[in-house]
Chains A and B, each alone.
Chain A
Amino acid sequence: MYNKKIKKKKLIAAIIISIIIIILLIISIILNRKTGFIETFAKDIIMSPFTSLTSKNDFNQSESYTIQKNVNTSLEKEIKELKDTLELNKTLTEYEPINATILSRNKSYWFNTITIDKGKKSGIKKNMAVITKNGLIGKISKVYTYSSEIKLITSDDINFKVSIAIKTNDVDNYAVLNGYNKKNSLIKASGIDKTTTINKGDKVLTSGLGEMFPAGIFIGTVEKIKSDKYNLSKDIFIKTSQNFNDIHYVTVLKVK
């Protein structure tokens, strides 16, 4: 009798724990969820050493460059990147560019995200487009007070699709970005009518159709064209000059 009671209690405890685990997993895995107050607060505290470090770093690096111009090659590289970012800012007249530094990459292999040192305080909002001098790299997926998360376009996330326009002889052909080939660093796009003429080297830009990204942001050039496995449409592979494993500075586009 006593054993039965203990068994029953254990079973109830196991069921409750399983339910809690499932709920927590659902909360964690919903990638588009809004970040709550507690999460934002905890994230801000945890990231504060890094965010304060990057803000100090920017100042020291520029100073160090002017003083010892040819001493440190890695510093020179960083300054070049910053200069490129400033050049980029001049061309984006319709948007208020918010420059940010990468704090960390997501450790999970399956989610291609990075964290930057700008958040709500700097005016960053969810779904803003993120670019570098080489073109579009992703969108803001989560915003905290002093940091944000960027989902890269190389991400295989089923819920994150980018509508693109392929410029062939001044005609726009529309498609959707659909995955990334890590081996040859090409972004795949699908959904192009098989009768459409697309040439190697055609420019690929954001179409602005999904209203997620502004139209006309450069993504890359067409590198390879293939028929899909049922020969119903074409798949194209886009070469981007951005090395997605080597991003240090980004620009978030805020509509004015």
Chain B
Amino acid sequence: MIPLIIIIISLILDGVLTNFLPFLVNDLSLFTPLLTLVSIFIIYPFFRKKESRFYLILFIVGIIYDLLYTNLLFFNAILFLVTGILTKVIYKNFEINFLKIMIYSVILITTYEILTALIILIFNLVPITITKVIYKISHSVLLNIVYIEILYLIIKLIPKKYKNISIN
């Protein structure tokens, strides 16, 4: 239940921040939200023993995300799956703590943006330059790091009986 609440709130917040707060609407602000993406990292520990459900949720959330915000059906559904796999690799091989989460969220955002740019480049839809991709990544980092840290702290504060996970 907790991971679902987290991902639904992130999904709604993503739309609110992108569309309704005027200071965020202009071209690209330093606070560009990718909240749903970074929340994937936080919810993974809830699904350690049932990974197929984790990927299914990511795929469904991705489709809803596409229908709501991008109109590119399956695009983010696939990218969220890739992010899920990357999250699993990070959890399996590295230690998770308050500071390291910052680095991991930057890795997730960078991978997501590079993959998006690569797909667009391969299908030759929009002229893409490395500068533009770096610009997009740099403007997406700040807000999302703050958000993932808040989520991390909230999950740590939840009493153990309500969660069958362990975050170091």
Chain A residues 152 to 170 lying within 8 A of chain B, measured CB to CB, are: 155-159
- Is A107 a contact of B124 with CB atoms below 8 Å? no
B116 at the interface (CB under 8 A from A): yes
Partner of B73, one of A28, A108, A109, A159: A28
The residues of A that contact B77 with a CB separation of less than 8 Å are 24
The residues of B that contact A122 with a CB separation of less than 8 Å are none
B125 at the interface (CB under 8 A from A): yes
| B32 → A minimal CB distance (Å) | 8
Bound CA span A143–B74, Å? 18
A246 at the interface (CB under 8 A from B): yes
Bound CA span A28–B74, Å? 6
- Is A106 a contact of B127 with CB atoms below 8 Å? no
**Nearest-neighbor residue (CB-CB) of A113 within chain B:** B71
Per-residue CB contact flags for chain B residues 116-146 toward chain A (1 = under 8 Å, else 0) read 1101100111111000000010000000000
Per-residue CB contact flags for chain A residues 108-143 toward chain B (1 = under 8 Å, else 0) read 111101010000000000000000000000000010
Given contacts A43-B67, A46-B68, A107-B18, contact A245 B120 (CB under 8 A): no
The residues of B that contact A111 with a CB separation of less than 8 Å are 70, 72, 125-126
Given contacts A24-B74, A28-B74, A29-B119, contact A46 B67 (CB under 8 A): yes
Chain A residues 33 to 79 lying within 8 A of chain B, measured CB to CB, are: 39, 42-43, 46-47
Per-residue CB contact flags for chain B residues 1-45 toward chain A (1 = under 8 Å, else 0) read 000000000000011001100100111100010000000000000
- Is A47 a contact of B25 with CB atoms below 8 Å? no
- Is A29 a contact of B136 with CB atoms below 8 Å? no
The residues of A that contact B75 with a CB separation of less than 8 Å are 25, 28-29
The residues of A that contact B116 with a CB separation of less than 8 Å are 108, 110
- Is A158 a contact of B124 with CB atoms below 8 Å? yes
Task: Name, among B18, B71, B78, the residue most crowded by chain A CB atoms within 10 Å (CB to CB).
Answer: B71
Number of contacts between A and B (CB, 8 Å)?
90
A104 at the interface (CB under 8 A from B): yes
**Nearest-neighbor residue (CB-CB) of B73 within chain A:** A28
- Is A42 a contact of B67 with CB atoms below 8 Å? yes
A21 at the interface (CB under 8 A from B): yes
- Residues of A near any B CB (own CB < 8 A): 21, 24-29, 31, 39, 42-43, 46-47, 104-111, 113, 115, 142, 149, 155-159, 179, 182, 245-246
Q: What are the nearest 5 A-B pairs in CB distance?
A: A107-B69, A24-B74, A28-B75, A28-B74, A46-B67
14 further interface pairs, Cβ-Cβ under 8 Å (given A27-B73, A104-B19, A111-B70): A25-B119, A29-B120, A43-B71, A46-B67, A104-B15, A104-B18, A105-B25, A107-B14, A110-B126, A111-B126, A149-B71, A157-B125, A158-B126, A245-B27
